Structure 1
Amino acid sequence: MGVRLRTAMLAAALLVAGFALRAPFDQLRRYLIARCNDPVRLPRLAEESRVRFQPGARDCAARVAEMLPAALARIEQEQGRPFANPPTVAVYVSYEDYARAGGLGDASVAAVARSGYVLLSPTLCGDESERLAGVLAHELSHSHIFGWRRSWFAARPPSWFTEGLAVMVSGGGGAEGVDEAMAVRAMARGWAITIEDTGLWRDFGAIGFAAEPPPEIFGGDRFAGRQRLAYREAQMFVAWLRRIDPQGFARLLNRVENNESFKDSFVKIYGAGSSRRWSEFLAGVSR
């Protein structure tokens, strides 16, 4: 083998390895940035110590404080047990600071739950203030489920389940603007989400579609529209699972929060895999 060929092969291997490792390194980089911008440095709200805020966001923090007790009680009731650790909510006035602290590096995401905190974007205190209560409860659902899941090594539950659950228990938070009738029409046209048995740590918020919806149906904000359609379809499926077996659904949620395998638990409780039950759900929707 010639030197040039060996060099070319080595370069190709390094390129492939670079692409393979880029996502984990990017995730690690964002995590380290988030740790350096930990919300613990923000001042507490005097009237509600579980709320922290950036200077300039005090009025919004006060609104969050008013909503928080009812939201916490709602999530505990819906998800069947108290929070493992009482979550803290951080309210931001700077989009840049919020993006760094959230660990996603994306200021367009309205809220994120991580490391026992729920971080709220400035948009929820401004242009999207009508979403504040729903999104707060949505993220508290995530904080609840992952607060109990203390192992970094356990397989992550699929996003359709965690996001569908969060939309369901929050009364629609995260899927605003897409109602069930719109989701039914989308599924009838083949724009149904894909159902997997495990989630991905590197892409934990993404839900795929069997056939990608055309961008024009979402108007000016394709990302938000696509996400909210996916979340609404997931919510409908999760609600259906709870409706056909309320006790089994409660056991499934308990097993997931105890780091047990989602796939094995689902089959044990529902007698078939999640994709099989999804097919049954779609058949019912089409009728």
Structure 2
Amino acid sequence: MAEQRRNPRSQGGGKPAGRPSGKPAGKRPTGTGRPSSAKSAERGQRWSPEGRSEGAERKDRRGSSPRSSKPAERPGRKNDWKRPADKQAARTAEQAVYDGPDLPEGITGRELDRSVTAQLKGLPEKLAARVARHLAAAGALVDDDPETAYQHTLAARARAPRLAVVREATGEAAYAAGHYAEALAELRAAKRMNGATAYLPIMADCHRALGRPQEALKLAKSPSVANFAAEAKAEMTIVGAGARRDLGQVDAALRTLELAPLASKSRAPWVVRLRYAYADALEAAGRDQDALAWFHRTHAIDSEELTDADARAEALERKLG
């Protein structure tokens, strides 16, 4: 997907305050390993052909011809091919996930980054094409309809579950849709597959959303964070500060944010979010004048209106009289 984010929210709550990773699941493939032809294969034989019963050719004691041209029925075999209702329901649910939502017209799969497409080359051609279309659809929908985007990634995962890029896409879409436990599980799977650490900010934010701020702080202290690019570092800083606030440690949250490049001359989205988080923490600490100044500084570089810094500043001005 193209880089897309939600507006940051108050860092004190249990819900994540934005999409820390910066690259949602959109332009990344997803799939399971079952080709589309699997549908017809699954519908094939619901039972094994029994052929002729073992008594059909057996003559009677007098050595006459078979007693009947019809195979003898075995006790209890008449309806044993039928699936139990609960298993049939489970299969129906699995099939619905595999089928996924309808693919939007015009989505071809060629919208994906080349790096993603390259990782699909190990799949059969038709399967790769289907996975690519579901991933591209997820990327197109993730901001406006994250739940449907997530369903598209699940359909892709159902076809290619052993591709890290697919699990990553599913995790990021789950995160966008608010399915934090699922997002954490998928990103852990992706990390096991490819060893990447880029998912750590999202994983930490998922821990926050699940009420585990201490786990979020553990990830924020990972040695690999030191090697992150500026944006990823900022995202992890924001999540770490939010975890501190979850624990009631507002002063510690402020100290965490003050170690970040708040005065950067960049107008990049990560600077906007960093300043907003700092202003929000200042207000939570009761430092309204300082918070007002930082909301103004945030608004000054927020040309894309990623935040409500302007409205927050106006509210503080009314409060301060």
Structure having the higher helix fraction is 1
Higher relative contact order (CA 8 A, sep 6+): 2
Structure of greater Rg:
2
TM-score (norm 1): 0.25
Normalized per residue, the structure richer in strand is 1
TM-score by length of 2: 0.23
